[in-house]
A and B are shown apart, each in its own frame.
Chain A
Amino acid sequence: MVVLISSGAAQAGKSAKTKKPAAEAKKEPPKLPAEKLAKVRDILLGDDEPGAIDAAKALGQSGASNAMDPLVDLLSVGGPPSRLEVAVEALGTLGDPRAIDALEVYAGNRSPDLRRRAIKSLAAIKDDRVVPPLIAALGDQAPDVRAAAADALAARKETKAAPRLLALVKRNDAGAAPALGLLATPELVPQLAELQGSVDDNVVASALGEYLKRDDVADPLRVDVVRTIGHLSGAAATTALVEYIATVPAKDDRASKKEAQKLIDEKGTVK
């Protein structure tokens, strides 16, 4: 078991107490001593597979400002896939923008699982340079990779991803639907509604359901969306309406909520 965080964090904390105000100390990440870093690098690149995996995880959890270096070194010379997977995830945990290039390379790995991890790690980095590879990953052949990219783009509110997400929804990609709902502009909603009949109703309902939950949508438009969902078949349509009502405060008596409730009641009556 490789333990890094205790010593590094402790050291960083100690120096913060003595030299800097508490608020500022929180922002400054710990730094691993050079000797320890060298030792971890040896483990990462060595023959002990479980040891290397533990070391990679520990580096990620350390939050140390220099923990990225040995991980990027590992990715740079390569190694067994299981070790690389953990290293990629650890870089995501660290969220260091200097790892973007290495993660971009692994976002093109032949293993869909490794690609998905690389996309998630890129998504965790607060830097605009990750957006193009995330948008590109929406074109990945693997659904899990596309879904990871879609979720990441939705979380970052990258509205420029909406047209590609719509293209995926048109191809019945369920993984892209919630993200589209979160990013769609009002102009895109009619296009989404028009997919009814050509795309699985559950996929359309999933996208419109997420759209309904947004705070930035005017209620008259929500009413239209609720009605569109009401025309959709499948469990996802009912779920979307139920979930929408659940997000609205009990005292809020908005028209879209009433309409949603009415449609749920009607669906129940039909049953």
Chain B
Amino acid sequence: MSTVSMSMMKLGAVVSLALAAGCATSAYQRAGSSDDVASALGKTPGATATGRPENVTGRPLAFLALGGAKGPRLAAYDLSESRVLWTQPADIKSRVAVGTDIIVYGVADALVARDVSTGAERWRHPIGKDERLLGYDVDGKNVYLSVQEGGQHLHGGKASVRALEAKDGDARWRHEFASGNVGAPVSRGGLVAVPVASQYVTLLDGSDGAQLAQVLSNEEAATFVRALPEGLFFGSAGVFRLEPGTAAGSRKSSGYVKAKLPAFVRPVYWFDLYRPEQGDYSALDRNRILWRMTPAGDARFRDDLAFVHNYRFFFGFDARTGELKWAYNHPESEAVASAVVGDTIAFVSADGDVGALDARTGARTFSARLPGEVVRGATFDAEGWGPRGGAASTPPLGDTLTTIVWDPDRRFWDVKMFAIEELARQPGHGVTEQLIKVTEQQGLPPAVYQKAGEALIARKDGSAADLLARVLATHADYADGKSAPAVEILARAAGAMKATTAAPALVEHLKRPETPPAALTQIARALAAIGATDALPALHDFVTMYRADPLYDGDPTPLVAASEAMLALGGPAERQLLLYLAEESHTVEPLRVHLRRALAQTAGAEARLRAAAATADE
């Protein structure tokens, strides 16, 4: 249907102009009115959360955009029976939206509707060459789409929301906007919400397209609107429940909520409806926050849980505290799509692994395969689906985190860093071993060693001293192609856990030329903390060998640390040597200054010790 033919729509269609071009009155003058929003919510019939799928079959379905050697196809997969219901050739350009009898999706030049049960094409709504499909949604028996005519994307031209009959694609009404800066429509319970100019959400009556209210998002952009069984929501950095109290978009309102999540999480609560490219299945589907809300009252994540889908990993967090509740590591391939469908997180991987996780525990509760398929994306219509098969028990969180840390996929360092951080919170000797193992690995980003090391230091787990000593026993060797472990951080850990057994290995690193100055400093401090008097000869050699080396003229920290250790561990002989070095003209000046001060500060204690010893002898 062309734009011309669309102007010849059935007479039932209502064209409501939000604003005539050039009108002096602002189109948004009543934006933010809580009365208007209350009235709009009251006027429309609303939706009831049925706890079951939207589609007429009543079965939990996944609509899969397939690729691979068999070409682009669309398949409907029955999750309850683990079988493909139908497959149709389809070059999908934007994601599937599911209605009662039909599904719709975008192709290059049209919006296509197919029968939910058979996959047969029902109708096709063409998008003209001078038109731009901004997005669409299905609400039961109605289809709504935003189209921009003329101009550039979001600039110039005019946008409209068009309502079509789901059964045959016939036009019902059309709502014109003053500008082209409009996002994809979202509908629920007879209300159509349209993001406008990044800051507004215009509410239209689904029955005739009349504007009912406008939400003004004052404090953060409203890049998304999302329809869920529990209500309509909008926001960007957080989530507003659409209600009179959030009509002006105040984040202080009880209708606003934002999950507390770790830094690695990409803060995407929903797709940006102003960006048609996000309307297609993309990397964004694989890296975002998954959430559901309580059905009424203050905005609050259901069960206070927010979930993170990060390619191959899923995490469940306490949204209020950020506490990690569970983690799931999907083996080998990425999950390309996911959705919270009640108490279950449904997902499908790129290689056709269909799965489900218990949203409260992260336990794998469903597993099925689509052999030989390449899945590009998926839309789930599976509300209430709750498979109870799969894993008999949830593996301990520490075990899952360990698998993430050691996952061979080298792309996910941010996730692995997070896993290390969380692993460190877990109790047990095994965790300490894992952290030490991380520091032993070659070729990790420095921040990973740092993170593992800091966790090790904080644990002060003396039971791992022998393991620490074993790791420290590794040295760099060019012939063997070996590098030294993260000596600096391991030395700090050894000092913190008073790892006596690690002292000999620390001494060896003190002697080696490749040990970095920062590590030398930590070794000396650790030896002092451990009370490793056997290390005195090595400390002696280190201080004397370099005390006149101009290399340490600028930063004598390692020498200072080693001389401090000698003072702490040694006796009169060490003191005498240091006295000599403090006065010897070739000793680098910063070390001399330090030694004089340190010796003076400890002179009193030394004298007292001597006096006490003399008294004892008498």
Evaluate contact between A171 and B478: CB separation under 8 angstroms.
yes
Kindly provide the distance from the CB of B556 to the nearest chain A CB, expressed in whole angstroms: 13
Interface check B546, CB cutoff 8 A: yes
Interface check A213, CB cutoff 8 A: no
Interface check A139, CB cutoff 8 A: yes
Partner of A78, one of B482, B514, B546: B546
Evaluate contact between A81 and B548: CB separation under 8 angstroms.
yes
Interface check B479, CB cutoff 8 A: yes
Evaluate contact between A167 and B480: CB separation under 8 angstroms.
yes
Evaluate contact between A79 and B479: CB separation under 8 angstroms.
no
Given contacts A105-B545, A139-B482, 9 further A-B contacts (CB under 8 A): A76-B544, A77-B581, A108-B511, A109-B545, A111-B549, A141-B478, A167-B480, A168-B479, A173-B478
Q: Which A residues are closer than 8 A to B by beta carbons?
A: 47, 75-81, 84, 105-106, 108-112, 115, 138-141, 146, 164, 167-168, 171, 173
Evaluate contact between B511 and A105: CB separation under 8 angstroms.
yes
Evaluate contact between A171 and B545: CB separation under 8 angstroms.
no
Known: A105-B541, A108-B511, A108-B513. A139 touches B477 (CB 8 A): yes
Evaluate contact between B480 and A141: CB separation under 8 angstroms.
no
Hey, which chain A residues are within 8 Å of B511, CB to CB? 105, 108
Chain B residues 37 to 83 lying within 8 A of chain A, measured CB to CB, are none
Minimal Cβ-Cβ distance residue in A for B538: A105
Evaluate contact between B586 and A80: CB separation under 8 angstroms.
yes
Q: Report Cα–Cα, A164/B482, bound state, in Å.
A: 13
Chain B residues 489 to 545 lying within 8 A of chain A, measured CB to CB, are 511-514, 541, 543-545
Kindly provide the distance from the CB of B543 to the nearest chain A CB, expressed in whole angstroms: 8
Kindly provide the distance from the CB of A177 to the nearest chain B CB, expressed in whole angstroms: 13
Hey, which chain A residues are within 8 Å of B4, CB to CB? none
Evaluate contact between A168 and B478: CB separation under 8 angstroms.
yes
Kindly provide the distance from the CB of A145 to the nearest chain B CB, expressed in whole angstroms: 9
Evaluate contact between B544 and A78: CB separation under 8 angstroms.
yes
Q: Report Cα–Cα, A164/B544, bound state, in Å.
A: 32
Evaluate contact between B513 and A78: CB separation under 8 angstroms.
no
Evaluate contact between B513 and A109: CB separation under 8 angstroms.
yes
Interface check B476, CB cutoff 8 A: yes
Chain B residues 466 to 481 lying within 8 A of chain A, measured CB to CB, are 475-481
Hey, which chain B residues are within 8 Å of A105, CB to CB? 511, 541, 545
Minimal Cβ-Cβ distance residue in A for B476: A141
Evaluate contact between B548 and A141: CB separation under 8 angstroms.
no
Minimal Cβ-Cβ distance residue in A for B511: A108
Q: Report Cα–Cα, A75/B542, bound state, in Å.
A: 11
Q: Mark B413-429, 1 if CB is under 8 A from A, else 0.
A: 00000000000000000
Partner of B479, one of A108, A110, A112, A139: A139
Q: Report Cα–Cα, A105/B547, bound state, in Å.
A: 15
Hey, which chain A residues are within 8 Å of B513, CB to CB? 108-110, 112, 115, 140-141
Interface check B585, CB cutoff 8 A: yes
Partner of B481, one of A78, A106, A111, A171: A171
Kindly provide the distance from the CB of B177 to the nearest chain A CB, expressed in whole angstroms: 67
